[in-house]
């Protein structure tokens, strides 16, 4: 059973955050249509998926599609969640206009980003995130605060929970941080590569077991077939990662690299970027690696 599908409603976003896994921005393309959402949900039902999360990018940029997708998902029996940067919550009255329709659609979780990446460290009580949280809770919506701190030496040395060095974070946030010897980065700590419990799906059809690692394209092969036939031993990227992490992936394909990296995801992203042209079918979409 696949626990959840993260439906990337759009890669377009109002912001261009340094820690974004998908390199989202106002210029990034790729948005689901209603018909594509219906096809995805029909496939998700075949594999008994429980949750559908509408994410981005910023899903509220396509509010009409978001509402219709949530309604269809609800009527099909899925639990639903949304992640947003709450750019639309410019006042309490404005937030009510955006959130009241969601409160009538049985949305289970509203994830709201509130951290220095989204509001430049603004500690004011009237940030959009705090306005959105206040209104959502008053409407009976369950709010999950999505907060990621900017990386620090103290956090990394103390092994505290921190951001994951994927996507734009590799380019923007790794400088001057402590690093580990590449041979010690010999496992994949953040994903179940054998029996994945969640997948990210975009409007281009990419089924991502991890951001930028595809197990197939659902516009070419039905999602249910891809999930049922997935075998980690046959995947040229996932299997080396399973057996020996990014260290083995680099060794397997003889990729030239540096001696040290911040963590496994940092090293893995760098190696995968070097392999983009050789494994374009499995390393998709390219924009996750900063390639348009």
pLDDT tens readout for residues 241-292: 999 999 999 999 999 999 999 999 999 999 999 999 999 999 999 999 987 6
The 10 Å CB-count burial string (b at 16+, else e) for 121-145 is: eeeeeebbbbbbbbbbeeeebebee
pLDDT at 121: 52
Three-class DSSP category at 170: helix
pLDDT digits (tens, 9 = 90+) for 9-41: 999 999 998 889 999 999 999 999 999 999 999
Average pLDDT over residues 166-192: 93
The CA–CA distances, whole Å, from 2 to 201, 209, 232 equal 13, 11, 15
Place of tokens 């750019």: 87
The alpha carbon torsion through 131, 136, 142, 145 (nearest 10 deg) reads -20
pLDDT digits (tens, 9 = 90+) for 122-177: 555 688 999 999 999 999 999 998 867 666 544 544 444 467 899 999 999 898 89
Token reading at 202: 């975009």
Interacting residues of 106 by C-beta distance below 8 A, sequence separation 6+: 74, 80
- Average pLDDT of every residue of the chain: 92
Q: How far apart are the first and last CA of the chain?
A: 34
The model's pTM is 0.91
Q: What is the DSSP string of 50-116?
A: -EEEEESS-GGGGHHHHHHHHHHHHHTT-EEEEEE--TT-SSHHHHHHHHHHHHTTT--EEEEE-SH
Contact 22, 59 (CB under 8 A): no
Cα torsion angle, 162, 267, 5, 130, sign: positive
pLDDT at 1: 62
Q: How far is CA 10 from the centre of its chain?
A: 11
Beta pairing class for 206-210 and 198-201: antiparallel
Domains observed in the chain? 4-84+149-178+188-230+284-289 (3.20.20.70)
d(CA 142, CA 153): 34
**Angle subtended by helix axes 63-75 and 92-103, to nearest 10:** 30
d(CA 3, CA 195): 11
């Amino acid at each position: 059973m696949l626990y959840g599908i993260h439906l990337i409603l759009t890669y377009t976003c109002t912001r261009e955050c340094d820690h974004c896994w998908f390199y989202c921005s106002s210029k990034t393309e790729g948005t689901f249509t209603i018909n594509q959402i219906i096809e995805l949900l029909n496939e998700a039902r075949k594999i008994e998926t429980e949750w559908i999360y509408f994410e981005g990018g910023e899903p509220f940029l396509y509010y009409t599609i978001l509402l219709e997708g949530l309604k269809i998902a609800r009527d099909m029996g899925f639990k639903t969640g949304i992640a947003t940067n709450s750019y639309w919550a410019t006042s309490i009255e404005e937030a009510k206009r955006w959130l009241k329709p969601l409160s009538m659609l049985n949305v289970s979780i509203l994830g709201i980003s509130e951290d220095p990446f989204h509001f430049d460290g603004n500690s004011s009580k009237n940030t959009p995130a705090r306005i959105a949280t206040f209104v959502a809770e008053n409407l009976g919506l369950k709010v999950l605060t999505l907060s990621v701190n900017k990386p620090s030496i103290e956090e990394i040395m103390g092994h505290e929970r921190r951001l994951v060095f994927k996507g734009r974070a590799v380019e923007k946030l790794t400088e001057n941080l402590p690093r580990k010897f590449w041979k010690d980065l010999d496992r994949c700590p953040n994903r179940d590569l054998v029996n994945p419990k969640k997948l990210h799906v975009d409007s281009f059809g990419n089924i991502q077991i991890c951001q930028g690692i595809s197990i197939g394209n659902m516009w070419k092969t039905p999602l249910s077939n891809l999930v049922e036939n997935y075998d980690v031993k046959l995947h040229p990227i996932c299997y080396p990662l399973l057996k020996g992490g990014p260290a083995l992936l680099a060794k397997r394909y003889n990729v030239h690299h540096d001696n040290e990296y911040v963590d496994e995801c940092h090293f893995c992203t760098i190696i995968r970027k070097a392999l983009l042209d050789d494994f374009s079918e499995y390393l998709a979409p390219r924009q996750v690696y900063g390639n348009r």
